[in-house]
Structure 1
Amino acid sequence: MDRLIQTARILSGWTIAFILSLHLAAHSAGIFGLEAMETVGEAFEEVVRSPLSTWILPLALCIHFVCAFNALLRRYSFRSFTVYQWSQYVSGFLLPLFLIGHFATIGISRWVLGMDIDYELVFLEFWGVPIDTLFLVSLLALAGVHVGLGIWFYLQSKEWFVFYKTYILFILVLTPLLALLGVIAGGREASQREHNLPNWAEQVRSEAHYSQDWEETREIGSGLAIAGYLSILGLVLSIRWVVGRRAQKQSITVSYPDGQKVSMTKGSTLLEASNLAHIAHAQLCQGHGRCSTCRVYVAEGEELLEPMDEAERAVLSRFRSNTNIRLACQARALGNCRIDLLISPELASVQASGGKQRFISEEKEIIVLFSDIRGFTQFSEHRLPYDVVFILNRYFQEMGRVIEKHGGYLDKFIGDGTMAIFGLSDGMEKGANQALKATEQMAETLHKLNSELTSDLAEPLKIGVGVHAGKAIVGEMGYKSALTLTAIGDTVNTASRLEAMTKEVGCFMICSDLVAQLAGLDCSHLTSGELLLRGKSTPLKVWYTPYPAPR
C-alpha cells in the first residue's frame, strides 16, 4: 500500500509539474510583449483545454493532496522536520489557497458565465490592484518553490543526477523567474495600453464577452472553495493532533553507538529519531524511500520494528543485505532499539556529487588490479617537484580514463601506484575480461604518453601490473572527506604482491591463473609459472605478459 501511495504521489507530482511548465512558458513570453504572450498561450490552449487535461489536472491535484494529508497524519511530531521538509510542506499547503482563487477565476468565467479569458483581460482587471498583483506573484513563487524542491530531491537519488545537476538547478530557478518577469512585463504593457488607448479596455471586455456578474460570482465561488479546503485541512490537523497526543504517551528509546539515546513517540521512523536529536544522518531523498543513504544496521530490537513493505524491500534488495539492515526513513519503531548508521552524511554528499559507491560493507568476489611506475624514485630525484607532479598527473589522468572506460572502479592512487577494482556489479567473468582489456590498453596509452613527453623524459616510463581475483571486504572506509569505497583482504594483498613481482621477473603483467580462466584468456603465447608469495604456504599459478611492442 505504501508503495502504491508513493507511486501515486510521484506520478501526480510530475503531471502537475508538466502542466505548470506549459503555463510558465506562456507567462515567460510576456518578456517579448503581450502579443507574444497571447500567441504562446493560444498554442498551449489545445493541450490545457483538452478534455484529457481538463480532468487530469484536477485529478492529479486531488491525488497529490490526499497523499500529502496521508503523510501528515502518519507523522507524530513536527520537531524532526528538516528545513527542506518545512519548505515543502508549508509551500504545498499554502499553494491551494492561491490555486483555488485562480481556478475560480478561470473556471467560473469560462464554464459558468461563458467568458473567453485571455491575458489582456486578466491584466486589465487585476494588474495594478495591490492585493491582486501580490496574489499573482505569490502564486508563481509558491508553485516554483514547491515543484522545484520536489523535482530536485526526486532526481537527486538518480545515478545520472551528478552529471546534469547544474543544468537542472539552472532550469528550476530560471523557469519561474522568467515567468515572473514575463508577467511583470505583460502587466506593465497592459497598463500602458489602457492609459494610451482610450477604447482598448472596452474592446478587450467586449471580445471576452465580459459579464458584470463576474466579480461577485468569482468571489463567492472562490470563498466557498477556500472555506472547504481550510475545513478539510483543519480536520486533518485536528486528527493528527489527537493521534499525536495519544502516541506521545507511549515513548520509546533509540540508542546510537556513541551512547546517545533519543526518546521519541512510538511508531515514528528511525530517521525521525536522528532528526529530532539533530544527529547527522544521510538522507539524499529527504526521507521518501527513493535512495538508500539513510540505511542503518539494527543491532538490537529489529523484531520491534514494523515489517518491511514492498518499497523498502525493493530498495534494499540491491545490497543483498540481511534483515537487520533497514531504511531509517521507512522503519517505524514500536519498541526500544539500538542502531548503527551505515553511511555518513559526508559520504552521501560525495556520492551525490559523483561518487559511485553502492555497497554495504560485505564480502564480495572481485578482480583487483595494481599498477606501479618502474624506477620512479630515481626518476623523481633529478627533477623539480613541479615537473614530477605534472608528469604524474598526466599519467594518472590517462590511466584513470582507461580503467573507467573498461568498467573499473578507480579505488585510489598510492604514490605513483594505482589500485582499481573490477566486477563490482558485472560479475567475476566480465570483470576479469574488463581488467585484462584495461591492462592491454594501459600499455598502449603509456606508449602514446611516452611519445608526447619525449622532451621531458630521459627514458620512457615503464609500469608493472598485477591482477588477481577472489573474495575481499568491500565497503566504505575512511573518515569525513577521506571516506571512499575500497576493498581490503588477501585478494588485494596478493594483487599488490603480483605487481611487485613484475620487477623481479622483468615482465609487464602478472595475472593469476584464476583471472585467466575467468576471462577465457588465450594463454598459448604466454609463459606460466608458480610463485610462492610472502605469507603463503602454497605456490600460486600465474601467467606472465611481456612488455608489448609499440603499435
Structure 2
Amino acid sequence: MTATSIIKAARKPLKRFFTVGRLRLVSGLVLMVFLTGHLLNHSLGLISLNAMEIGRVVFLDIWRSLPGTILLIAAIAVHMILVFAKMLSIHSYRRLPAREIIQIVMGFAIPPLILLHIVGTRVVHEIYGIDDSYAFVLFSLWVATPLQALLQSAALIFAWVHGCLGVHFWLRLKPWYSSAFPILYSLSLALPILALTGFINGANEVEDLFSDAAWRTAFFAEMNLPEGLVGWAYGIRDQGLRLMIVGLVLLGASRLFWIAHFKRKKLITVSYPDGKTVSAPPGITVLEASNLGNIPHASVCGGRGRCSTCRIRVIEGEMDLEPPSEREAAVLKRVGAVDGTRLACQVKPATDISVVPLLPAKSTPQQGFNQPGYLHGQEKEIAILFADLRSFTKFSEQKLPYDVVFVINQYFRHMGEAIEASGGHLDKFIGDGVMALFGLDDTPEIASQKALDAAMAMAAELEIMNSNLKSDLPSPLRIGIGLHLGQVIVGKMGYGNATSITAIGDAVNTASRLETMNKEFSSQLIFSSELAKRSGRDFSNIRSEEVMVRGREETIAIYVVEDAKIMT
C-alpha cells in the first residue's frame, strides 16, 4: 500500500465524521451539556445561596479551564456559523414544519437575550478580574435590574426548549428512544422548573442580605467595580446587537436572492401517484417540492437525510439524477432499501421526474429503522401454515354471541402462542382460520422444522384448551392443519391500519388446499413431502399419499397425520 492510499484510507472516516450535519449536532450537544450543568447549578438555590456557590466552583472548574473554554467557544462559534449558513441556504421557510420554525425562532431569540449576561459575567471576569459570584449575578439581575431577571428567565426557557427539540429530532431515530421518551420528557420538564425555582429562592436570599447595610457595604467593597463598567457593558451589548441586525439583513437578502434565482429558472414538474403534480424550480429536493405543493410526504427527521422515511421510488427521470451521495447510500443501506430507492430529501431533480413515496405520510420513527429487505417485497422460499377449526360454524349457531367470542379468542390465543413460541410469524386470522409464515429470517431447512414444531404445539394447545373449556363445549374442538414449503412473494401489504407482512403465491394456495384435505382424510395434519425432505426428519413410519391439488397440474406427495402431537 502506497503512502497516498494510506492517507486516503485515513481520511475516509474523518470525512464521514466531520460532515456539516455531524459538526452541527456535536456542537449543539456540547452546548446542551453546558446548559444542563448551568440549570443543575441554579437548582441548588432550592437549598441555599451557599450551595449555589459551591456548585458554581465545580461548574467553573470544568468550563473555565483551558480545555473547557476552548471546547465551549468552539461549540458556540461552530454551531452559530453552521446554523446561520443553513438558514442562508434554505430556499423557502414556508416549506419548513411548524416544529422547526419554533426551534429556529427560539434559537434566534437566544443571542440577544443572553448577550448582556455573558458580558456581565465571563467577559468582565476575564478583563477586570471581577468575581462573578452568584451573589453578584443575582444582585445584578434581581435587585438592580429586575427586567433583566425576566429576560434571562425567558432566555433560559428558550435555550432549553431549543436544545431539547434538537436532541429530540436526533434521538427519535434511535430504536430505544420511544421507551425512554416518557422519562426523558419528564426530566426535560422538571429541570428548568427546578432551575427557575432555585434561581428565585437564591435571589430572595440575596435581596434579604442586601437589606443589611453592613453586608451591602462589604459586598460593594469586595466587588470593587470600576467606574463606568455598566455603561461599557451596555456598549458591548449594543455592538453585538448591531452585528445581529446585520445577520438578519443578510437572511432577508438571501430570501430576495432565492426568489430572483428561481424566477430565472425553468420550472420542472414532479409527478406523484393519482395524477398529482407540482411545478418547482430545479435545484430543490423532491421533499421540498412535496411541501411546496402541499402533498403529504413522510419525513421524520425533517429532511436531514437521517431517517429514510421520505424514501421514494423514481418511475421516470432516474437517468437524469445524480447518483446517491455517500450519506444517502449509507442511510439506504442501513434500512435495507432495495435497488431504485432514493431519499426524497436528498434527490434534486434538474428535469421532470415521476416518483412514488414508499411510506405513509404519517410514518413513525420506527419505520425509519433498519428493517428486513422482505418488507419492501422479496421472493423467498418459506414454510406456510394454514389451520382451521372443524364444525365451528355449527357450534356458533348454538351459542350466544358472547360465548362464541370467548371461545374463538381462547382458540386464537392458544394457537398464536404455539406459533410464536415455535418461531413463526402470525400472518392473520381468517374467520376461525389461522395463517402463519416460517422462514422470514431463517433458511428453508430451519423454517420447515419450525413449522412442524408449531403444528405439534398447536395440537397440544388444542388439547389443553378442550380440557379447560370442557364445561363450555358440547364436544371437543377439532382442528385441521396444512403445511407446505415453496417460493412466494413476501412483503408488507395492505392499506392504512390493515397493513401487515404477508405472502402471496402458488405455495400459499397449496398450503391452504392441504389444510382442507384433512376433511377428506379425517386427519389433523397434512404436510408436503418437500417440507418433510427439507426438515431433515425421518417420516418413514407416517402415512404418505400422492394427491392432486386444485390449481396444480401435477400430483404432490403428502404425509397424513391423524394426531399431530405424536407424529414422530
TM-score bucket of the superposed structures, by smaller chain: 0.7 to 0.9
1:270 CA displacement: 0.5
Structure 1 partner of 2:378: 363
Q: Is the 8 A contact 1:27 1:37 kept in 2?
A: yes
Output the CA distance in 1 between the equivalents of 2:521 and 2:343. 50
Structure 2 partner of 1:145: 161
Structure 2 partner of 1:294: 310
Q: Is the 8 A contact 1:162 1:353 kept in 2?
A: no
Output the CA distance in 1 between the equivalents of 2:344 and 2:228. 55
Output the CA distance in 2 between the equivalents of 1:402 and 1:134. 63
Structure 2 partner of 1:418: 434
Q: Is structure 2 residue 548 aligned with structure 1 residue 538?
A: no
Structure 1 partner of 2:10: none
Aligned pairs, number? 547
**Superposition RMSD in Å:** 3.7
Output the CA distance in 1 between the equivalents of 2:519 and 2:370. 33
Structure 2 partner of 1:247: 262
Q: Is structure 2 residue 151 aligned with structure 1 residue 135?
A: yes
Output the CA distance in 1 between the equivalents of 2:350 and 2:179. 41
Output the CA distance in 1 between the equivalents of 2:114 and 2:453. 59
Correspondence list, 1:125-524, <5 A: 125-127=140-142, 129-195=145-211, 197-201=212-216, 215-232=230-247, 234-235=249-250, 237-239=252-254, 241-250=256-265, 251-317=267-333, 318-323=335-340, 325-346=341-362, 348-349=363-364, 361-365=376-380, 366-397=382-413, 399-400=415-416, 403=419, 408-425=424-441, 428=444, 431-432=447-448, 434-443=450-459, 445-446=461-462, 449=465, 453=469, 455-459=471-475, 461-516=477-532, 520-521=536-537, 523=539
Output the CA distance in 2 between the equivalents of 1:201 and 1:453. 84
Amino acid at match of 2:109: L
Amino acid at match of 2:112: L
SS of the aligned residue for 1:15 comes to helix
Amino acid at match of 2:405: V
Q: Is the 8 A contact 2:336 2:370 kept in 1?
A: no
CA, structure 1 residues 404+10, in 2 after alignment: closer, same or farther (shift >3 Å)?
farther
Who wins on radius of gyration, i.e. which is larger? 2
Output the CA distance in 1 between the equivalents of 2:229 and 2:457. 75
Q: Is the 8 A contact 2:456 2:564 kept in 1?
A: no
1:255 CA displacement: 1.6
Output the CA distance in 1 between the equivalents of 2:121 and 2:421. 55
1:285 CA displacement: 1.8
Output the CA distance in 2 between the equivalents of 1:58 and 1:508. 74
CA, structure 1 residues 288+534, in 2 after alignment: closer, same or farther (shift >3 Å)?
same
Q: Normalized against structure 1, the TM-score is what? A: 0.84
Output the CA distance in 2 between the equivalents of 1:256 and 1:385. 46
Output the CA distance in 2 between the equivalents of 1:364 and 1:338. 26
Q: Is the 8 A contact 2:320 2:350 kept in 1?
A: yes
1 or 2 for the larger relative contact order (CA 8 Å, sep ≥6)? 1
197-206 or 4-13, larger mean C-alpha shift: 197-206
Identity %: 37
SS of the aligned residue for 1:14 comes to helix
CA, structure 1 residues 547+243, in 2 after alignment: closer, same or farther (shift >3 Å)?
same
CA, structure 1 residues 77+46, in 2 after alignment: closer, same or farther (shift >3 Å)?
same
Structure 1 partner of 2:82: 67
Output the CA distance in 1 between the equivalents of 2:409 and 2:529. 33
SS of the aligned residue for 1:319 comes to coil
Q: Is the 8 A contact 1:290 1:315 kept in 2?
A: yes
1:274 CA displacement: 1.0
Q: Is the 8 A contact 1:75 1:268 kept in 2?
A: no
- Cα deviation 1:413-445 (Å, max 9, x = unaligned): 322333333444555555555555555555555
Q: Is the 8 A contact 2:309 2:367 kept in 1?
A: no
Output the CA distance in 2 between the equivalents of 1:402 and 1:38. 63
Q: Is structure 2 residue 23 aligned with structure 1 residue 23?
A: no
Output the CA distance in 1 between the equivalents of 2:73 and 2:460. 61
205-214 or 231-240, larger mean C-alpha shift: 205-214
Q: Is the 8 A contact 2:109 2:155 kept in 1?
A: no
Structure 2 partner of 1:53: 68
Output the CA distance in 2 between the equivalents of 1:465 and 1:411. 15
Output the CA distance in 2 between the equivalents of 1:6 and 1:316. 17
1:397 CA displacement: 4.3
1:507 CA displacement: 4.8
Output the CA distance in 2 between the equivalents of 1:397 and 1:51. 64
